[in-house]
Amino acid sequence: MKIACVGECMVEFAQEGGDLFRRGFGGDTLNTALYLARLGIDTSYITALGDDPLSAAMLAAWQAEGIGTSEVLCISGRVPGLYMIERDAKGERSFLYWRDRAPARELFDRADDAMLDRLAGFDWLYFSGISLSLYGETGRAKLRELLTAMRKRGGRVAFDGNYRPRGWSNRETAQRAFRSVLPLIDLALPTWDDEQMLFGDADASISLRRFKDAGVKEIVVKRGAQGCLVDSDGVLVDIAPPDVVLPVDTTAAGDSFNAGYIAARIKGAAPREAARAGHRLAAAVIMAPGAVIPRAAMPTQILGTEQ
């Protein structure tokens, strides 16, 4: 099984203490791609970068993690976006962005028919609400065409409804964009806080209903420390995290959960066990600063067998 993760990776400056920040590379779909690769899934990252030293360093870092980069576009004279993470005393983070001219925004404007045909041949395609915010109406239309073509070939589409208001001109535009892709989703992995912010959902069951009404067959609503609701083919279960931990940094908690869940499902686990796998990986990730934890900090078990 091969999975393509579509989106944007940025230069990350994560607060380590006081005025000290550590440089890394991160982005929601890239974080998921990295953890999928670490879990043994054949993973490629799909984005556009510049021809600068930071872009080259990103590619080298992804390749070192075993992530495929053959479909990464290079745009001459451009540089990747940048974001800064600040954390409060509870480990919750706030973000500042410098990304208006990031080359990733032009991915679907520059992708030719041959590239889109290759992408449609993947077994899985994963993207997020942040991915949607990168592309204009034309780009989002080409993405929907890609998803349609992929599913006709038997591929599956996974979607994390990450909603960041700063990425959108207004909430109504974001709502239309989200609703336009829901009928093309096989596995939805939204976070209830985001659904509440975007659609005003009073509780997670309302979020579940919106995805079900759109025809999504497998839905996992993440609720932070409360665990997640999993609805697969009409069977609803509530899965709590296996352990209660005090987070150091919640960056990439949802991204890593998604990787654990998808990896488990690809390897044949049932939705219930896949949710537990997602919780185990996310619990390890939030105990270290930044989006990407050292390999040594990866859990040795997420599915009951050593990875």
228-232 and 218-222 beta bridge pairing = antiparallel
Q: Which amino acid is at 102?
A: A
Residue 255 annotated as catalytic? yes
Integer Cα distance of 302 and 264 in angstroms: 8
Q: Phi/psi at 157 (nearest 5 deg)?
A: -120, 130
Integer Cα distance of 282 and 279 in angstroms: 5
> What's the burial of 182, exposed, middle or buried (CB within 10 Å: 0-12/13-18/19+)?
middle
Q: How far is CA 197 from the centre of its chain?
A: 18
Structure tokens at 193: 């806080």
The residue annotated as part of the active site, out of 194, 201, 231, 255, is: 255
Integer Cα distance of 219 and 228 in angstroms: 10
How many CB atoms neighbour CB 113 within 10 A? 7
Residues involved in catalysis: 255
